[in-house]
Homo-oligomer: A and B are copies of this chain.
Amino acid sequence: MATTGTDMSRMREMNQLSIVGALRGNPPSTVTELASRSGLSRPAVDVLVQSLVADGWAEVEEPGASSVVGRPARRYRFRATAGHVLGIDIGVHKILVILSDLEGNLVRTVRHPAAPEAAPAERLAAVDRVVDEVLASAGMAAGDIWAVTVGVTGPVDRSGRTSLSSPLPGWSEADPAAHLGTRFSCPVQVENDCKLAAVAERWRGVAQDADDIVYLLAGLRTGAGLILDGTLRRGHGGAAGEIGALKAVRWLTAPDHLQSCPGMPATAAEGEAAAWVFQAARDGDRDARTAVRRYTRDLAVGVAALVLALDPQVVVYGGGFSRSADVVLGPLHRELTKHCLRMPELRASTLGDESVALGAVRLALDEVDSRLLSDGLAAPTAPRR
């Protein structure tokens, strides 16, 4: 069969993608190194990498003064700033937006407080303001963004809505994908916050070595995100991880134990009460330790249900309460031992409250990568939906 022009062009594109793959995640590389990584010939790599530089996908690392005798070989690197993505966490108490380049280098992180009682339009207007601030401070426009992922609380259906349940007032009617779609022409996806935080732990957190992960988003509400065989478990209708909705597993009421405790200042606000209890427990206060033990005893029922159902390698304790993992993990481990046939490792998240936005960045980067594979390498511009 004769090779057609289309075949040739597709083959060239595949070879370019293989050079991009050989550049990414590596230090600046010589043509010889790229040839060895890609399996292509040195002369072919030379031509391909020149065209990637011309198109804006790669750049030359100018050789610095070095002690090497003779002219050092020219080195190339992936031009990570060719495009950028946004990870947006629309939380109950905060809006957090992270701007990242194509290599996952975080360029800007901006956070504004949000009012728990804010209506959807108000909350989305606040999102717009944070996005404006991020883009302006980075000197960018909406057209420079290649993919946007938004994290929200509650199970997210295929349309990006949380119609089944949401703790945000009126939010089940909100359509954040459509709202952001009016200013961004690139793909905009919406995902559940616990799922994104789980993705973040496997990407940059404490579960990078694990393929089977139960992630707990622990705070005044408790949620779960599941990664099984290395893949985020979304569920047939996007509602995986919602075990906390079942009364019998006690997540609905577990944090109540942290809301009152003898000796707590009457002035402590809802969000501060738990922090006070955790600190008092850390300081050895007996009542506070009892409150934390009751919290972990109830929390452990739902965790044990997930562990017994899925037999994960790792359980990650994340979310707002993970700052107090030092007083939670011990009692939680003891409680789980009572219920479970096989104990997983229990680890505390270190990503703090950026985990949801960070997972959103990761999914947005995945979206860019899948577009590269399916659409190939035109000169770098934002993809369109």
Contact = CB atoms under 8 A, between A and B. Distances in A.
Interface string A147-182: 000000001000000001100000000000000000
A313 B236 contact: yes
Interface in A243-265: 243-250
A237 B309 contact: no
B228 A309 contact: no
Interface stretch (A69-77, A109-117, A339-347): A339-347
A333 interface: no
Given A248-B305, A301-B246, A342 B229 contact: no
By size class, the interface of chain A is 35 or more
A308 B341 contact: no
A241 B305 CA distance: 10
Tally of this chain's copies? 2
Given A165-B341, A229-B231, A248-B301, A308 B243 contact: yes
A242 interface: yes
Nearest to A309: B243
B341 A236 contact: no
Contact of A248 (B250, B340, B342): B250
A221 interface: no
Given A155-B342, A164-B342, A240 B309 contact: yes
A304 interface: yes
A235 interface: yes
Given A237-B342, A239-B342, 4 more contacts: A236-B344, A240-B311, A242-B341, A245-B308
